Structure formats: structure tokens, C-alpha cells
Structure 1
Amino acid sequence: MNGLHLIADLHDCRCDPARLLDAPGLETYCVDACQRHGLTVVGRLFHAFRDASGQAAGVTGTVVLAESHLAIHTWPEIGAVTLDIYVCNFSDDNSARAQALFAETVARFAPACVERHSVRRGQLVAA
């Protein structure tokens, strides 16, 4: 269970707004980015949402990694993205890979404001 969980809320994303609606493009980017940073992709699922009138309304996607996962959710109507990257460090310390992937992915959306959280997982705290 020992690992690193990086979480971010990206506000006022200044990237091309179409990027927040493009499920196939986000999937390609996320899979390629994970591989570029030395993580092992074992699965993926990206879903484009539609509003009642059939207009594109955001994307939810996940890349399942041998090391754990990347999850992303977009809210184009408010220019926002949530990002979640978790890596386990069972046989190798993947923390640097996760941090590099996280930084690259945050930068891709050019947010004006970022709320970041980093959680060390799986370490017992002495009582």
C-alpha cells in the first residue's frame, strides 16, 4: 500500500476550451503521458458527457496503471479540471514519476489557480 497520492483542483483553465470536451484526445494524452513518465498502462476508460440538448458537457477518464491510476474530470462550463494520480511504491519508488506526470498534466490545462494536495498512503502511524 505504500505510495503517493497527488490530487489537484484546477481552476480557470486557460487552455483551448475544446481540450476539456475531447474524450479521445484526453485519453491519448493521458495514456501517452503515463508511458512517457515510465508508468505501465494496463487499462483505460474515458467517457464524454452530454447535456439534455446533446451538447458536449465534460469528460471523466481513468488510466489504470500497474502502479495504480490517473483519473481526470473536466467541467468545461466553469473551465475546471480535477486530477488524481496515485502510485504504489511496492517494488520501486514511483514518487518522482508521479510528481513529473502530475506537473506536466497540470501545465497542459494552464490553470490560473491550482489547489494541490499530496498524501503519503499506506504508512502506519504509531499510536
Structure 2
Amino acid sequence: MKNLGRHVLAEIYGCEFDILNDVTKVEEIMVNAALEAGAEVREFVFHKFSPQGVSGVVVISESHLAIHTWPELGYAAVDVFTCGDKVDPWDACNYLVRNFGAEDMSAQETVRGLLPEKVANQPAAVNL
């Protein structure tokens, strides 16, 4: 069976409060994580919560990276979904760990879009 993509769900612990609570820093790190993994960034949007926390998404040609932070706990919930075989979601996750000053990461990968060979070999639909 052929798959369409890889989806890594990461729990990132022991991160620096000042980084996870700064929407500009989180945005910059997330965009750079996508680039580090070899992705093509299309758009991104991030939001700062009060009194603390940041949520955001980076849309890439190959799918997306998303995050929600709990700075008071030093914790970030991240998912990195990549399609195709040119972008490695683990490269993005490891970049995030380094740049959030994290102590630990627990992550799991799920293969997405497991298609029977018959379906995988059909021509793509044309959107008009």
C-alpha cells in the first residue's frame, strides 16, 4: 500500500517560558522549522492568548505544522503533517526542540492516507 503522508504528534516538555509566550518568536521558530525540514511555506497565522500561550499554524505545500503552547508549564503540543517524500517531519520536530530550549520530547508518527495500490494509481481529479 502507498501512503500519502507522515504525521508526527509531538509533546515538547521543559521549554523556556519566554519563548513559548512570545508570539513573534514562536512564529519565527515554526516557520524556520518548516524550512529546516525542506518544506515550502505558503501562509502562517499565530495568535497570542491572555494571560499566556500561543497557537498557530504554518501552511506548507506539503501540508502543515501546528502548535499550542502552555508557557506556564513549559509545554508545547505540536503536529507536523507532511505529504510526499521530500520533507521529513522529524527534522522540523528536532528543530523545535532545540529552539524552544526543551528538555524532552515524546512523539509518535502516524502514516496517513494508506491507499490500496488500485486507488493510488488513479489519475488525480482536475479541479475547475
TM over 0.5: yes
Structure 1, unmatched stretches of 5+, are 52-56
Aligned ranges for residues 1-127 of structure 1 at < 5 Å?
A: 2-13=4-15, 15=16, 17-51=17-51, 57-89=52-84, 93-95=85-87, 97-124=88-115
Identical residues among aligned pairs (%): 34
Pairs aligned (count):
114
Instruction: Report the TM-score when normalising by structure 1.
Output: 0.80
2:73 and 2:104 map into 1 onto residues whose CA distance is 13
C-alpha distance in structure 2 between counterparts of 1:31 and 1:111, whole Å: 18
Q: Distance in 2 between matches of 1:113 and 1:35?
A: 22
Give 1:54's aligned residue: none
Question: Shift in Å at residue 20 of structure 1?
Answer: 0.8
State the distance in 2 between where 1:25 and 1:88 align: 26
Report the alpha carbon displacement of residue 81 of structure 1 after superposing the two structures with TM: 0.6
| Structure 2 unaligned residues grouped into runs of 5+ | 117-128
Between 34-43 and 109-118, report the one with greater CA deviation: 109-118
Counterpart secondary structure, 2:38? coil
Cα distance, 1:103 vs. partner?
A: 1.2
- 1:97-123 superposed Cα distances (whole Å, 9 cap, x missing partner): 322111111222233342211001111
Q: CA RMSD for the aligned pairs? A: 1.8
How far 1:42 moved relative to its partner? 0.8
- What is the DSSP-based 3-state SS (H/G/I as helix, E as strand, rest coil) of the residue aligned with 2:109? strand
CA–CA distance in structure 1, aligned partners of residues 29 and 99 of structure 2? 10
Tell me, what secondary structure is at the counterpart of 1:8?
Answer: strand
Higher radius of gyration, 1 or 2: 2
* Structure 1 counterpart SS, 2:14: strand
What amino acid maps onto 1:18 in structure 2? D
